[in-house]
Amino acid sequence: MKFLNRGLLALTLIFTASLLQSSEYLYKDEVIFNPAFNQEVNRLGSELYEKTGISLRLIMLRELPRDKSIVEYEKELMQNFNEPTILLTFSELDMRVDILAKPVSLYEYFDKKQVLSPISSPVQAFVVALLNMDFSDMSSGGTILPLLAQKAKDGEQKGKYSGSMFNGYADIAEQVAKSKNVVLENAVGSANQTTILVVKVLFYGVIVYAIIMYIKRKIYLRRQSHEKK
């Protein structure tokens, strides 16, 4: 009986240790609950840490604590980590995304503004600036918000969340690795660029359609004006 109890205790400890290790880089998940997503994040995060000593953790929240901003939440959570850490945090109900790095020198290894840009390409940035007549901010290359902003059918929300957040997670990891002159075997690479290309095609399709409808409207109004005369 004692042998069985010891064996059960050993298995419990092994399982607990395995569970903690598997959730190390997908540090908190209240949204996706997908083992495959967990595995992909932890595989990439583990390799990045082994090769650079930098821990990149993904936080997937259902909702931020009451009366607390996403930055305040990240700063509080950051106190749990001693090693150089980058937090990529998403809150579903608040629809907020942020990146916090400690120490601040880690920002030298990746472009936070680019990762969190709502614009996916320089051409798109120019079009948006032209429409708004504001060229003060032409940042582009966003790998999270352009995907997060896409409409999803019922039942596909989690797929959109996991795709956009892993896209950003991989972007940060690859930028850090490149800055550290290391190669990540689990990098997303060309697959990441293909996803962004799809977003660009969808965006430009909407822009072209809007322009065509605008021209048609102008022609229609002009004809109506001539007919009245």
pLDDT at 24 over 80: yes
Contacts of 10 (CB under 8 A, 6+ apart): none
Q: What is the pLDDT of residues 88-130, one digit of tens each?
A: 999 999 999 999 999 999 999 999 999 999 887 555 555 554 5
**Residue in 144, 205, 134, 139 with CA at minimum distance from that of residue 172:** 144
pLDDT (tens digit, 9 = 90+) per residue, 125-164?
Answer: 555 545 555 555 556 589 999 989 888 887 889 999 999 9
Q: What is the DSSP letter of 138?
A: -
pTM above 0.75, yes or no: no
Whether 12 shows a pLDDT value over 80: the answer reads no
How, if at all, do strands 85-91 and 55-61 pair? parallel
Choose the most confident range, by mean pLDDT, from 1-10, 50-59, 187-196, 197-206. Answer: 50-59
* Structural tokens at position 26: 């997908």
Supply angle C-alpha 198, 202, 204, rounded to 5: 115
We find that the CATH architecture of domain 24-228 is: Roll (3.10)
Helices assigned H by DSSP within the chain: 2-22, 35-52, 70-78, 112-115, 122-132, 145-148, 157-179, 190-228
